[in-house]
Amino acid sequence: MEHNYPIKRIVDNKGFLVDTSFEKQIDEQLVKNLYYHMLRVRTFDRKAINLQRQGRLGTYAPFEGQEAAQVGSALALNADDWVFPTYRDHGATITFGKSMARTFLYWNGRVEGCVAPADRNIFPPAVPIATQLPHAAGAAWAEKRRGTQNVAIAYFGDGATSEGDFHEGLNFASVFKVPVVFFNQNNGYAISVPIEKQMNSATIAQKSVAYGMPGYRIDGNDCFAVYFETKKAFDYARCGNGPTLIEAVTWRKGAHTTADDPSKYRPEKQGENFVDPLIRLELFMKNYGYWNDEWIQATKEETTSEVEAAVEEMEKFPPPNVADVFDHVYAEMPAQLAEQKEAYLAHLGRQ
């Protein structure tokens, strides 16, 4: 089946166009937009790891190496669309408009970190594997019933394809032809489980056949392939044709989380042929005359300043309200939980 799902690529590892049909669609604005956001979220990601190591942030899930997949897909969205992320997709949500400070708060266990901007439809990150796929299908169905052209995107990893929610989400979306794109980032591992022990299928994209929807494999480290293929899937959905499954083949450069040691389960030289998506874009910019030293330097300074300001904002937040652990579980608090809350608050008052 693998030969039926070749990996679509527009720019190769050395930054040269291999599909010249997109040459006229790639302009300076798109190139700079992709580079700006990829550099921006990488700066955020590396800062978050440093903060965790300093004890200023909780356990964190890094995404370095997957910037092209997340930024390219998020930039193809419209402002009224829906995003259903996992715990590793803060590059996509920040690109789509979520506050960096709020994202830092999420990784400090704060309920405020789940709050999206009022003008963006961003669900809180799904920590349970694959639960966001049926949610995305439901939101897309609601948009279809309302008669809008809004779409939903559900991000998930390769491990999610082993969960029932994956199949339920795709089946529901297929039956009702809802406008949703299921965007898989196949980074080779579900925590420590390699893809070959996760499934017997040659590709994830081929799973689309069972649900009668288009399925594509793309180079997840080629930001142009991600952007144009995801945009095509969104356009397909907006026209009432239904869902698409995209497998973006990428690589998780670091650990699963800051509590993980990938050297325990990944061979030492595995991934050595990985070409950093940001470096690939930089090579493209140099090859085709988009590189500008002054603009690059200004962009680095701008993104660094934004991240530092977000850290400062996060650390100035007032102490968390302990009542949050009680108040945000049920729509109507059960009597037993109300008693526990009252007893706990009384205990705090006696300290």
Cα 218 from Cα 73, distance rounded (Å): 12
Alpha-carbon 14 to chain mean position? 25
Cα 86 from Cα 74, distance rounded (Å): 14
Strands 244-249 vs 180-186: parallel, antiparallel or unpaired = parallel
- For 349, the token pair is 């008052």
CB 307 within 8 A of CB 90: no
Cα 294 from Cα 122, distance rounded (Å): 34
Question: What DSSP line would sit under 277-309, residue for residue?
Answer: HHHHHHHHHHHTT---HHHHHHHHHHHHHHHHH
CB 229 within 8 A of CB 218: yes
**In which residue are the tokens 């302990």 written?**
322
- Burial class of residue 339, CB neighbours in 10 A (0-12, 13-18, 19+): exposed
Beta-bridge mates of residue 121: 82
Cα 280 from Cα 282, distance rounded (Å): 5
302 Cβ partners below 8 Å, 6+ apart?
A: none
Beta-bridge mates of residue 208: none
Question: What DSSP line would sit under 238-278, residue for residue?
Answer: HTT---EEEEEE----S-SSTT--GGGTS-TTTTTT---HH
Cα dihedral sign for 254, 260, 264, 265?
A: negative
Which residues are known catalytic residues?
252, 256, 265
Give the other-Cβ count within 10 Å of 59's Cβ: 12
